[in-house]
Amino acid sequence: MTYFQCSPGGSLTGDFRVPGDKSISHRSIILSSIAEGDSRISGFLEGEDSLNTLKAFQAMGVSIERNAHQIVVHGVGLNGLKAPTAPLEMGNSGTAMRLLLGLLAGQSFDSVMTGDESLSSRPMNRVINPLQKMGAEIQSQPCGTAPLSVKGNRRLQAIEYDLPMASAQVKSCILLAGLYADGETVVREPSPTRDHSERMLRGFGCEVRSDGAEIRINGRQELNATDIEIPADISSAAFFMVAASIATKSEIKLLHVGVNPTRTGAIDILRLMGADVILSNQKEVGGEPVADITVRSARLKGIVIPEELVPLAIDEFPVLFIAAACAQGETVLSGAEELRVKESDRIQVMVDGLTTLGIRAIATDDGICIQGGVIRGGEVESHGDHRIAMAFSVASLCARGDIKINNCANVNTSFPGFVQLASAAGLGVTAYE
């Protein structure tokens, strides 16, 4: 078992770039594979999650070349995928499993997807149900968990679907299935979620219409190859944004970070808490807005987090809870029930860890209440959740003693090289086997 040993204190300085965006990396492989022609991808996240997506398409007959600078995907077209000879292994990635399920539902062949122990415990009914309404035939384990078996040669029909809960993964799954459906598929979301799928589909020449909360896509559209430049992942950058905010005498610049407006909730929340966060060098690259982000030390205050920001920061909450633990006063989050079905129950796991470290934290059904205070040293469990492990590493900057974090191997799923980059920036974190 890999664990992190984190020494207390430290300051952050320097300019650096975190790895490529995981959400965009997944989608770049998926859409390049079903496009006509060769697509070139730069900035791809070489983490286990996105590499499992890449391997899945290789297993379905897509030729993919990798070198130090880019990935070249030789697309096979909308109907060119071949039956895999073994179950597709998704590892720890709920994004990969949910998005691929939509695509596999429209194929001519049978397929099976599986994952690790964590992924195999996560509910998939929220994507299975709308796909079944489209005519897909999918079998799961009890409670809608993996392995998932998908029957081929099912003619899908377009549907109009109102998402019961804001989720970019569910939305994207339905849109991908909509590519293989007869008619126009319509998805309505209760609040905005990340729109990488819509942006990238348009980049491949697919017509996707967005009107407020409604997204429409016609089936049987051909995708044409394109080149993709993937920006640095704002979810990975968020660990350093919080770190520089809570550590004394810190100033960092995070380079070429994706600042898609459906992903900047963490910046908005930190600013509401009093953080000193400045965006510069703003531009658009490959249809995605990017910027350099400068963060300086600041005195944070507790807030009631606006519910409209919750889906825009859903992956960043573990480290935002560390910011709350270091802030003056109480921070209250509600409307975030999705956190309970991530790689871990992120509400309860963070409450348990914060409590161990001496912070008063109370879980609610859909959120958390955190009273800022003094972080002690101690031993916490990440439960194999990469974002939990990295969040408690950041907590060490304000801790009174060493923090040991157990079960950290899955950090490589989203942030390969985290320990090395964090150490170079000023965190006292070391990984041990």
Pairwise CA distance, residues 350 & 391, whole Å: 9
CA distances from 60 to 30, 112, 362 (A): 11, 12, 46
Q: Are strands 251-258 and 13-16 parallel, antiparallel or unpaired?
A: parallel
- Per the CB < 8 A criterion, the answer to whether 124 and 100 are in contact is no
- Find all residues with CB under 8 Å of 123, minimum gap 6, and list them: 143, 144, 145, 341
Q: Name the nearest CA neighbour of 380 among 393, 371, 365, 367.
A: 393
E strand spans, 286-420: 288-296, 330-333, 360-364, 367-371, 378-381, 403-406
Q: Name the nearest CA neighbour of 220 among 300, 130, 155.
A: 155
Q: How far apart are the first and last CA of the chain?
A: 6
Question: 346-356 and 386-395 are packed helices; what angle lies between their axes, rounded to 10 degrees?
Answer: 30
Q: Name the nearest CA neighbour of 104 among 88, 118, 123.
A: 88
Pairwise CA distance, residues 241 & 293, whole Å: 8
- Per the CB < 8 A criterion, the answer to whether 140 and 126 are in contact is no
- Per the CB < 8 A criterion, the answer to whether 404 and 392 are in contact is no
- Per the CB < 8 A criterion, the answer to whether 123 and 338 are in contact is no
* Helix and strand totals (H; E) in the chain: 12, 25
Tokens of 285: 């690259």
Question: 234-246 and 386-395 are packed helices; what angle lies between their axes, rounded to 10 degrees?
Answer: 20
Pairwise CA distance, residues 10 & 327, whole Å: 17
- Per the CB < 8 A criterion, the answer to whether 402 and 6 are in contact is yes
For residue 315, indicate whether it is catalytic. yes
- Cα 68 from chain centroid (whole Å): 24
One of 233, 315, 352, 365 is an active-site residue; which one?
315
How buried is 156 (Cβ within 10 angstroms: 0-12 exposed, 13-18 middle, 19+ buried)? buried
SS3 content of the chain, % helix, strand, coil (to 5): 35, 30, 35
Which positions are catalytic? 315
